[in-house]
Structure 1
């Protein structure tokens, strides 16, 4: 991979868990009824067949991981657990009224924050409250994120008994120097203990999150981390680029820009990790993901059914994703909605008896068309426009913007299709940017996104 390409494409770029991306949502005033109608339509179209997905944001952490870009609330006061869960269940009850019919739940994902901040009995109360009055889809998959340093056997057993079979552990890097500067401390022994116990209980898919590009990270620390991971062989690994956005997350100002690896070293960190994971038998899936061939993500990519939403990559498609909790984003396919970003505003709106939506974007016909092409690139590595080309100005312009990427060998391009090359897999965010009509129509005056490299 040439230095020229690395430098050329190391530009601010969205991660495309949605299109349009959140900064480009409409900012006009809206009525909650607009979102509710969008939900009702999507629910009516898909509940009985696909079921729905639920993302629950649990924002609390006992300490701040300085690299983190998530919406968090730092506290050691665990009395916050029960009031927050009551608010979540009130929000869910509001959605149940919007549905007007018994929901079929296909996916539940607990994210954070630190879901395992919450006591097992409180998580049990939450999940039982969500499942009451709902039908569980025959192919349901429940998953949660966990901190290796505070996940207990009781957490694992309680959630397993509620139907959870997937577990994601945030590791990032095992190097003590890196862990110290990002304030994320967990030992290999702790990770091994949680992994072994989860497998003993019956969890069938374990994911490790690893990050490259962290402050003070070296090739040696990446090698050591992957070697330790190889002793446990999780079914999935998310190996993704550190997003340095200190203008959004002030905690990242704990370290200086000079503590971060430069563009060339960061590329070396990625290549080292990727080569080691590939040598271990992992297959690269979509963007940033590596799986064993026994994992459902790999099988979905092989079958062409891989899907991507605000929860990341999934092996099955649901049209309606309901986000519960502070800052959660919901997706009806026809529109997006985001909840209030502070616990205080969220609970105030909930206690007022209204859905805590503070941002809404209804997708236009062109949004929907371009969204599908971006999803195709992210999930299948290929997209074709056929008869749509001359019916969309945004698509016509996207095809023009694809030509330089083809010239650089990142895609194979013809009159009707674009297909990502092996070289281009490293630049999926850049390729998707060609289809981002809203970004090109209004280029930001300041940096909104992390660097693509």
Structure 2
């Protein structure tokens, strides 16, 4: 990687799982009633053909992983499981009432937190309740995140019997020193056992999450982790940049910036990891994702049908995604909404029969135009302007901001659109940021996002 480009573009940048990004949501003009109307509109437009996606946030963990940026509740008290499941099912019933017809489930994903904190029996109760009186789309896919240290055969078999075929394991790094400082412990043997168990049961896809830029991580430790991972040959690998945001997640203050790789070293970690994954036979998909050549993500990337939402990249496309549970984010395409972030507030709203949405954003006409182009860039590496259908000043201003990136060789820019170059694939966040009119209109005075590299 060109060191001068790395230095120039290593700035705080959004990850663009949405546009506008959450700090730029217009909260004053948002209301739950607007959100409800947008859900019904989106459902009526797309349920019959595309179905809908469901994300369920299961926040509980027995210990705090200090690198983590997710909304979690740390407890060893498993009596919290059943009341939480009851609340999620009540929330789902509220959405069923809003939609007014039988939903077709295209995607269902359990995230956290640690979904495998919950017993196999309670997960069965949750999933059975969610899938009661729904249609299962012919192309439906069900997936869940799991901790290698507490995932049992009962978890795997129960969820498999309910239709789950995709499993994602949080690995991050196998180096003992890194695991100690981030308080994330799992052994190679545990990961191997869960992977082999899942494949024996019949799971068709196993994903590993890996992170570069962690405290105390070195070139040697990353290479060692990558070599061990390659021996287990997961179908997909998410190779994320560590997002250091201690002003948001105080748990990250267990270590200091001095423990983190500096920017040039972090860039080298990324390049080494990326190179090794390609040598192992993985194909790069979008940003941060790699998959074996026969994987559906690779096929979607090749065919231009890759999609990106709050759950990351997917080869499934739905316009409506409902997030259930504390802090979960939903997307109707026309609006975003987030649930209460504090567990007690979420439970209280549910008990009162109130949809637990506490903030959101209704997209403007300009937002919808910019969102489409950012999504195209993130998923296909190119986008086409439509000057007749998009008389959008925000887009014209964004195109002007793209010119320096074209001069640096990150994109090919012309009158009809743009195409990301091979060099530019490393800088997708920066390319999208040039189109981010809301960010440029109101540049933050303090850091809101993690660094791009």
TM-score (norm 1): 0.99
> Is residue 2:402 matched to residue 1:414?
no
In structure 2, what is the Cα distance between the partners aligned to 1:429 and 1:32?
31
**Number of residues paired by the alignment?**
453
Match of 1:44 in 2: 44
In structure 2, what is the Cα distance between the partners aligned to 1:23 and 1:360?
10
Shift of 1:29: 5.3
Q: Secondary structure at the match of 1:15?
A: coil
Unmatched runs of 5 consecutive residues or more in structure 2: none
Shift of 1:30: 3.7
Match of 1:349 in 2: 349
Match of 1:256 in 2: 256
Match of 2:439 in 1: 439
Does structure 2 conserve the Cα–Cα contact (< 8 Å) formed by 1:52 and 1:319? yes
In structure 2, what is the Cα distance between the partners aligned to 1:190 and 1:208?
13
Q: Secondary structure at the match of 2:50?
A: coil
Shift of 1:388: 4.8
Match of 1:165 in 2: 165
Instruction: Tell me the alpha carbon deviations over residues 267-318 of structure 1, each in whole angstroms, 9 at most, x when there is no partner.
Output: 1111111111000110000000000011110011111100000010000100
> What does residue range 97-108 of structure 1 map to in structure 2 within 5 Å?
97-108=97-108
Match of 1:215 in 2: 215
Match of 2:305 in 1: 305
The structure-2 alpha-carbon separation of the partners of 1:76 and 1:211, relative to structure 1 and needing over 3 Å to count, comes to same
Does structure 1 conserve the Cα–Cα contact (< 8 Å) formed by 2:39 and 2:320? yes
Instruction: Tell me the alpha carbon deviations over residues 345-367 of structure 1, each in whole angstroms, 9 at most, x when there is no partner.
Output: 00000111010000021101110
> What does residue range 166-245 of structure 1 map to in structure 2 within 5 Å?
166-245=166-245
Match of 1:373 in 2: 373
Q: Secondary structure at the match of 1:284?
A: strand
Shift of 1:417: 1.1
Does structure 2 conserve the Cα–Cα contact (< 8 Å) formed by 1:106 and 1:137? yes
Shift of 1:386: 2.7
Does structure 2 conserve the Cα–Cα contact (< 8 Å) formed by 1:55 and 1:109? yes
Instruction: Tell me the alpha carbon deviations over residues 233-281 of structure 1, each in whole angstroms, 9 at most, x when there is no partner.
Output: 1010000100000000000000011100001110111111111100011
Does structure 1 conserve the Cα–Cα contact (< 8 Å) formed by 2:369 and 2:390? no
Match of 2:450 in 1: 450
> What does residue range 285-300 of structure 1 map to in structure 2 within 5 Å?
285-300=285-300
In structure 2, what is the Cα distance between the partners aligned to 1:235 and 1:154?
22
Instruction: Tell me the alpha carbon deviations over residues 101-144 of structure 1, each in whole angstroms, 9 at most, x when there is no partner.
Output: 01100000000000000000000000000000100000000000
Does structure 1 conserve the Cα–Cα contact (< 8 Å) formed by 2:245 and 2:252? yes
Moved over 4 A (4+): none
- Pick which of 407-416 and 29-38 moved more: 29-38
Match of 1:147 in 2: 147
Match of 2:271 in 1: 271
Shift of 1:416: 1.6
Q: Secondary structure at the match of 2:165?
A: strand
Please, what is the CA RMSD of the aligned residues?
0.8
The structure-2 alpha-carbon separation of the partners of 1:390 and 1:17, relative to structure 1 and needing over 3 Å to count, comes to closer
Does structure 1 conserve the Cα–Cα contact (< 8 Å) formed by 2:58 and 2:113? yes
Match of 1:25 in 2: 25
TM-score (norm 2): 0.99
In structure 2, what is the Cα distance between the partners aligned to 1:445 and 1:352?
39
